[in-house]
Amino acid sequence: MGAQEPIGKVYLIGAGPGDPELLTVKAARLITSADVVLHDSLVGREILRLAQPSAEVIDVGKRAGKKLLTQDEINSLLVAHAKRRALVVRLKGGDPAVFGRAAEEIAALRSAGIACELVPGVTAALGAAAAAGISLTDRRFASQVLFTTFSRQEGNAIDWAGLSPATTLALYMPGPDYAEVATRLVENAMPEELPCVIVSNIGRREQQIRWSTIGALAKEEKLPAPALMIVGHVASRATQLAESLWPLLRSTRGRPPDARSISVI
């Protein structure tokens, strides 16, 4: 019996928030070398144009909230193309391991005996903070960052216990109802005067940035999806205001924040 023919490999690649210049060098190299590219709807045309003309480019994303393919169908496509000894790229917006379904795809590939590798990308929270020109862990005001999504499903709520005045909340997919977000924040002891910033279409030409506070969110015009909301003292637009908040934070915390932690839930 002859040796088994080698099969391909799948790379789960983060395409970042939208700007092709935010791709890693490794990501760009793999996209240009790929035989097959399966991409989400958030991946822009400028990035897809990096694929070689002979590559098969397959859209497996969502349109108006409806999936073109089920996750099981996507998993099957990845396995089938890799078995043809192809270099397969699974291209996801942001980072493939943050609020994506990379774990399910990895499990399916491993079960089929397919080699796979994660290639990190710039996640939306980092892209939004860069666009707004703020530091998520400004040591004067923040000792931790919480990456989470705003879920409207029962039994899948945010764990608010980890929040404090020194928490920066990076809220993925806040949805169109800012009033609901504000209500939930206030109900969980977040003050109405706490600053927040919403960044829409991060890294794209149509990017928009909206500065606000929790109390004013209900009256804000809704920005197009995809969007991300950053809530916390670091999200103040005025440096003078941020400076004035430092004595207050010291009194509420008892000591300056000095720890660094990032939680993904």
Is residue 254's pLDDT more than 50? no
pLDDT tops 50 at residue 101: yes
CB atoms < 10 A from the CB of 50, how many?
19
Confidence of residue 168 (pLDDT cuts 50, 70, 90): very high
| Residue-by-residue DSSP string for 59-72 | E--EETTEESS-HH
Look up residue 105 and give its two tokens: 């795809």
* Domain boundary assignment for the chain: 9-119, 124-264
- Considering the segment(s) 9-119 as one domain, its CATH architecture is 3-Layer(aba) Sandwich (3.40)
Domains 9-119 and 124-264 share a fold: no
Q: What is the pLDDT of residue 260?
A: 38
Distance CA 188, CA 180 (A): 13
Predicted structure pTM score = 0.84
What value does the mean pLDDT take over residues 114-137? 96
DSSP labels for 171-208?
Answer: EE---S-HHHHHHHHHHTT--TT-EEEEEESTTSTT-E
Q: What angle do CA 225, 52, 71 make, to 5 degrees?
A: 45
Q: Which of 4, 3, 13, 19 is nearest to 34 (CA)?
A: 13
In this structure, which topology does domain 124-264 adopt according to CATH?
3.30.950
Residues tagged active-site: 40, 62, 173
What mean pLDDT is predicted for residues 98-115?
A: 95
For residues 15 and 1, give the distance between their C-alpha atoms in angstroms, rounded to a whole number. 42
Report pLDDT for 241: 47
Per-residue pLDDT, 263: 44
If one compares 162 and 257, the residue with the highest pLDDT of the two is 162
Which DSSP symbol is given to 221?
A: P
Give 188-238 pLDDT, tens digit per residue: 888 999 999 999 999 999 999 999 999 999 999 999 999 999 999 999 876
Calpha distance 109→115 (Å, rounded): 7
Q: Which of 42-51, 87-96, 140-149, 245-254 has the lowest mean pLDDT?
A: 245-254
Q: Give the residue with greater pLDDT, 245 vs 18.
A: 18
19-49: string of b/e by CB count within 10 Å (b at 16+)?
A: bbebbbeebbebbeebbbbbbbebbbeebbe
Q: Give 24's contacts (C-beta < 8 A, 6+ positions apart).
A: 14, 119, 120, 121
Residue 262 pLDDT grade (very low, low, confident, very high; cuts 50, 70, 90): very low
Per the omega criterion (within 30 degrees of 0), is the bond before 226 cis? yes
Is pLDDT at 105 greater than 90 in this prediction?
yes
DSSP for 72-128 reads: HHHHHHHHHHHHTT-EEEEEESB-TTSSSSHHHHHHHHHHTT-EEEEE----HHHHH
Percent of the chain with pLDDT over 90: 69
